[in-house]
Structure 1
Amino acid sequence: MGRTGRTRELIGEGVELRRHRRENYPLYARWYGDEEVWRLTSWASGPMRQSAVERLFRDRELSSIDDSFAIHREGVEEPVGVIGLMNVSEANSSADLSIIVGSTDDRDQGVGTEAIRLLLGYAFEELRLHRVGLSVFDFNEPAISAYEKIGFSHEGRLRGAVRRDGSFHDAILMSVLAEEWGAGGRP
């Protein structure tokens, strides 16, 4: 999965997915360093430092198994989030979805949902993947509800897999298959 010839931009309803620009890395570092973003989305032991975030995105640029975009509102230069297909496996025709919407002001407005729809269209129609999976923490009910509406199905849980707020929580495993997406999975 080389980088040449890859789609540079995906355009949806009010949302655009664009390839990352290095000048946005400090903004990403603010998001990945934010306690609430970490609490809702990360398997790491704590929020990331700026140097680690910048290294992560430099590595993603070169990666043959990660395919990542910045989420933009239509026509706006500054991104509002990051979305990607991680652990892309040609052998198994699968990948894992990863998404964060950085600012609380940009959440619960449909931006993330439209970004996921765009990325799934790209995954199934352009990359010809068979399966896209994800994990979400059981206390992140808005995300679980959004994934269900988009067409993800529950397939299991990792019991007591993450520690947050002084106790252990389950990680819910969800996925969507190409035939489900093509059979009207696009709400």
Structure 2
Amino acid sequence: MITLQPFTKEDYTQLIEWVNSPALLLQWGGPRFTFPLDERQLDDYLSWHSPGRQVWKAVETASGRTVGHIELGNIDSKNRIGTITRVMISPDVRGRGWGERIMREAVRYGFETLQLHRIELRVFDFNHAAIRCYEKVGFQKEGLLRQCRRFGDEYWSLWIMSLLRPEWLKQKQEGGECKTTVDR
């Protein structure tokens, strides 16, 4: 079981350790951050104001160990849309299902607490493990933003993926949820 808790200054060091290369920083944070990630950038990150925006660390309930980071933001309350961004799983637990658990909880929060109709995300087309994780949660690919991010001499493409509330409700009725909680 996991708990999503507010990401605070006390969590900076761990996230900085996880984001240990320029390529990983672009994958996690997009073009707003520069390598190396540092406390000043994370202070700025936490100061961004947006209604309903949630920045969490994901904590394994039994051990109290932080296993990930996730943000739900860009909340458009009129159209009831939100965006999952900045997903990072601790390197020592990758491939063990934690990403799926974290995603399911962020999605549950978006649909139940924020009453969203649509949750979307963007993921680089070469990040096959993340794409599989998002598809397990119910996200569908909608379109490819071709060569929209530059890294050195390369251009990277991003998939836009989304999950709609009726799809999530159907999955929930079929038992596709895992037990997690959010600390407020």
Residue 164 of structure 1: CA displacement?
3.6
Answering whether residue 55 of structure 2 is matched by residue 50 of structure 1, we say no
Amino acid at match of 1:156: G
> What is the distance in 2 between the residues matched to 1:66 and 1:89?
10
Shift of 1:49: 2.6
Q: How many residues align?
A: 172
Asked if 1 retains the 8 angstrom alpha-carbon contact of 2:68 and 2:89, the reply is yes
TM-score, normalization: structure 2?
A: 0.82
The equivalent residue for 2:180 is none
Counterpart pick for 2:121 among 112, 126, 134 = 134
> 2:11 matched to which residue of 1?
24
Alpha-carbon deviation of 1:36? 5.1
AA aligned opposite 1:151: G
Higher relative contact order (CA 8 A, sep 6+): 2
Query: TM (normalized to structure 1)?
Result: 0.81
**Structure 1 alignment gaps of length 5 or more:** 1-13
Percent of matched pairs sharing the same residue: 27
Cα deviation, 1:12-60, whole Å, max 9, x if unaligned, reads xx21111223311232233345445325333226433331113212x15
The one of 166, 169, 172 equivalent to 1:179 is 166
2 CA distance for matches of 1:73 and 1:165? 36
Q: For residues 37 and 72 of structure 1, do their structure 2 counterparts lie closer, same or farther at Cα, with a shift above 3 Å needed?
A: farther
Could you tell me whether the CA contact under 8 Å between 1:37 and 1:100 is conserved in 2?
no
Contact 1:32-1:53 within 8 A present in 2 as well: no
